[in-house]
Structure 1
Amino acid sequence: MKHVTIKDIARSLCISVSTVSRALTDDKNIRRETREAVLREAERLGYRRNPVAMNLKMGRTNTIGVIVPEMHTPYASQVVAGIQSILYKNNQKVMIAESDENPNRERENLQMMEEFMVDGLIVSICSYKHNV
């Protein structure tokens, strides 16, 4: 399934990609008629904003990574639920990874969080001797 992009809207209307982008973000330098045409075409084509692209443009993901050694105990699940509750109220998304008390998996999870460009990390280390 191909996602509709701002390039598709621009091609359809024979206008620049930057004009489409500015129209979709309600830039004050775009004429009302142009903005309305872009919005109509976006709706017709089924355009949905791409949060990944927006995150790249803004330099933020609004995501916090949480790495825990385990989530089997009631305590661990309550801690994770509490973290989610606070972060969701502040419009932050949460990416959770479990290390299974394995320092190597913990390291892999840290690398994954870095690849996904999370804005911050909450880590409960699995071993103080093998802290990565």
Structure 2
Amino acid sequence: MKHITIKDIAKSLCISVSTVSRALTDDKNIRKETRDMVMAEAKRLGYKRNPVAMNLKMGRSNTIGVIVPEMHTPYAAQVISGIQEVLYKKNQKVVLAESDENAEQEYENLNMMEQFMVDGLIASMCSYRKNTDKYQ
């Protein structure tokens, strides 16, 4: 299934991609008629905003990484649930990873969080002596 992009809308309307982008973000420099035309075409084509693209443009992912040693105990589940409850209210997404008390796995999880460009990190470290350079 192909996702409709702002390039598709621009091509369909024979206007620039930047005009479509500004219309979709309600830029004050776009005429109402142009905005209405873009919005109608976006709806007709089934356009849905791509949060990943928006995050890249804004320089934020609105995502917090959480690394925990385990998720199996009732305590761990309660902590994770509390983190999610607080962050979801603030429109933050949560990427959750388990280190299994293994410093190498924790290091891989830190790499993953870096690749996902999380805005912040909550972690229960395996050891205060390991991976400190990566955390910094």
Same fold at TM > 0.5: yes
**Where does residue 128 of structure 2 map in the other structure?**
128
Which residues in structure 2 correspond to 1:68-107 (within 5 Å)?
68-107=68-107
Give, in angstroms, the shift of residue 129 of structure 1: 4.1
Flag structure 2 segments of 5+ consecutive residues without an equivalent: none
- Which amino acid is the alignment partner of residue 42 of structure 1? A
Give structure 1 regions of 4+ aligned residues with deviation exceeding 2 angstroms: 127-132
Give, in angstroms, the shift of residue 102 of structure 1: 1.1
Flag structure 1 segments of 5+ consecutive residues without an equivalent: none
Q: Equivalent residue of 2:21, what SS? A: helix
Calculate the TM-score normalised by the size of structure 1. Answer: 0.96
Give, in angstroms, the shift of residue 127 of structure 1: 2.6
Identity of aligned residues (%): 78
Distance 2:67 2:114 in 1: 12
**Where does residue 67 of structure 2 map in the other structure?**
67
- CA deviations on 1:18-67 (whole Å, 9 max, x unpaired) are 00000000111111111111011101111000000000010001110000
**Where does residue 16 of structure 1 map in the other structure?**
16
Give, in angstroms, the shift of residue 126 of structure 1: 1.7
Q: CA RMSD in A?
A: 0.9
Distance 1:40 1:98 in 2: 44
